[in-house]
Structures are given as structure tokens and as C-alpha cells.
């Protein structure tokens, strides 16, 4: 349930369209629904602006299906991350319109239309090998209602590729940089722009990359101002943070008009 749903229920009670008991039935699962193996946070969109997101790894197929079935009752958009094709095949049996983004490992079920932001998030990668994490970020940001642009394979080994796209970086309100190896991309971008840069270290790289730790430490030690860092391979977390910032910028711009 979002704010509009609750306002609608209360308005119907006020006008006498529905009885108080009927309204209580609609609101009884706030703030969460206990399924035994999961407690679905129906209050999330009221507090944070977006419904709860399902992380599918290490959940059984029955658990994922049960959670999605319950969430569908609320008529909210549903986003599921780290979902393999086996999970998707199970979910499309209960919701044939479910969309699957294989590289990003994301399932999206659209129940409400989302107006896209005017302000833009751009997702930038060091290399093509970073695309799985980058697409998790890009798709997440899009289904949360943001306009998203992609700028891929512009890492520091060929920095001219990045510099030739400065216009795209400057047009964005928030930048997500995704890079493995030594993770220098975030510092380079952070030194070129006057907007928030969210850095995502990836586990792409040879031995002393240490599964993304070397990129993580480089990004955490960036001397460029305005760079924040999320966990290794956490494209979703970067997108959620970017979406929150972008929405605040968008709303502030509308209030100032």
C-alpha cells in the first residue's frame, strides 16, 4: 500500500462509501504480513517511497513464490533481484507478464505506471565485464521511476573514451560508476564533475583483485570529493541510493518553480 491507497480508503470511509470494518480489512496487514518464513514490509513504500524489494538468492522457489503472491495483492510494482532463470520460470507461471532481465538477474512485475523523472541517472562502467552489475543498477533505477542513461566500457586504460563523453556526465544529476580491477574510474569521474558519484566495486579482476576488495579499497580511499561507495557487486544498492538522491533533486526543482 502506498500513500494514495491509504488516502483512498480513508476518503471512502469519510464519504460513507465503505464501512469501518471493511476499511480495517484493507489496512490490517499494515505494517507487515507475517508468512512465517518472511515478514513482508507493506509499510516500506510509505516510509521510503518504494515497496520492499525481494532478494532471491538463498531463498527456495516456494518462498519466493509465496512472497510474490502476497505482494501482488497490494497492487504494487514488484522488483526481485539476484533471480536466476529457474526462479523466473516459476514466477511467470503465476504472473505471465513478469519481465526478466537475464544479465541483471532481475524480475519486474509492473502493476502501476511510473512517471519517469526529468533528471537523469547515468551508469558508467570501466569495462564490458562489469555489465552484469551495471545492468542491475540501471534496471533497478529505471523501474524505480528514473530516467537512466548508460555509458559503458570507458575505463581508465583508455581514458579518452570517457573524456569524449563529458557532455553526458554533465547532463546527469547522479552518476553511478561500476568498475573492477583497481577501481580507479570512480576517482577519475569524481574529479571531473560537480554531482554525486556512487561507486560500485566489482569482483572482476585477476588474483590480487581479491574478489573486488582491491577496487573497494581504492574507491574508499578516493581523493576526489563527492564520491560515496557501496558494497562489492551491489548494483542494486547503488541504484536505490541514486534514485533517492535523484527524486529529492527532482522534487526540490519542482518546489522552486
How many Å apart are CA 157 and CA 159, to the nearest integer? 6
pLDDT band with cut points at 50, 70 and 90 for residue 160: very high
pLDDT value of residue 27 = 66
Q: Mean pLDDT across the chain, nearest whole number?
A: 88
pLDDT value of residue 28 = 61
Three-class SS of 185-220: HHHHHHCCCCCCEEEEECCCCCHHHHHHHHHHHHHH
Residue 116 in grid coordinates: 519517469
Instruction: State mean pLDDT over 91-98.
Output: 91
Name the nearest CA neighbour of 199 among 214, 184, 211, 213: 184
pLDDT in tens, 230-250: 999 999 999 999 999 998 887
Instruction: State mean pLDDT over 211-240.
Output: 94
- For the CA atoms of 66, 61, 203, 247, the dihedral, rounded to the nearest 10 degrees, stands at -20
pLDDT value of residue 77 = 86
pLDDT in tens, 13-62: 888 888 887 777 666 656 776 677 887 777 676 677 777 889 999 999 99
Name the more confident of 113 and 88.
Answer: 88
Amino acid at each position: 500500500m502506498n500513500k494514495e491507497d491509504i488516502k483512498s480508503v480513508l476518503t471512502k470511509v469519510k464519504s460513507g462509501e465503505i464501512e469501518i470494518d471493511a476499511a480495517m480489512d484493507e489496512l490490517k496487514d499494515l505494517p507487515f504480513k507475517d508468512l512465517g518464513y518472511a515478514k513482508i514490509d507493506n509499510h516500506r513504500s510509505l516510509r521510503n517511497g518504494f515497496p520492499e524489494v525481494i532478494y532471491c538468492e538463498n531463498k527456495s522457489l516456494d518462498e519466493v513464490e509465496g512472497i510474490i503472491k502476497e505482494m501482488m495483492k497490494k497492487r504494487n510494482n514488484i522488483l526481485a533481484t539476484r533471480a536466476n532463470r529457474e526462479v523466473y520460470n516459476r514466477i511467470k507461471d503465476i504472473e505471465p507478464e513478469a519481465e526478466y532481465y537475464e544479465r541483471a538477474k532481475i524480475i519486474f512485475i509492473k502493476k502501476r505506471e511510473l512517471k519517469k523523472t526529468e533528471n537523469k541517472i547515468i551508469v558508467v562502467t570501466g569495462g564490458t565485464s562489469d555489465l552484469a552489475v551495471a545492468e542491475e543498477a540501471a534496471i533497478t533505477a529505471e523501474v524505480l521511476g528514473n530516467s537512466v542513461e548508460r555509458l559503458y566500457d570507458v575505463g581508465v586504460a583508455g581514458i579518452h573514451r570517457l573524456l569524449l563523453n563529458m557532455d553526458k556526465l554533465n547532463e546527469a544529476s547522479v552518476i553511478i560508476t561500476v568498475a573492477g580491477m583497481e577501481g580507479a574510474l570512480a576517482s577519475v569521474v569524481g574529479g571531473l564533475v560537480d554531482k554525486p558519484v556512487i561507486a560500485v566495486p566489482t569482483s572482476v579482476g585477476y588474483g590480487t583483485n581479491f574478489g573486488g576488495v582491491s577496487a573497494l579499497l581504492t574507491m574508499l580511499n578516493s581523493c576526489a570529493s563527492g564520491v560515496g561507495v557501496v558494497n562489492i557487486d551491489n548494483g542494486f544498492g547503488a541504484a536505490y541510493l541514486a534514485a533517492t538522491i535523484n527524486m529529492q533533486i527532482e522534487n526540490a526543482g519542482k518546489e522552486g518553480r
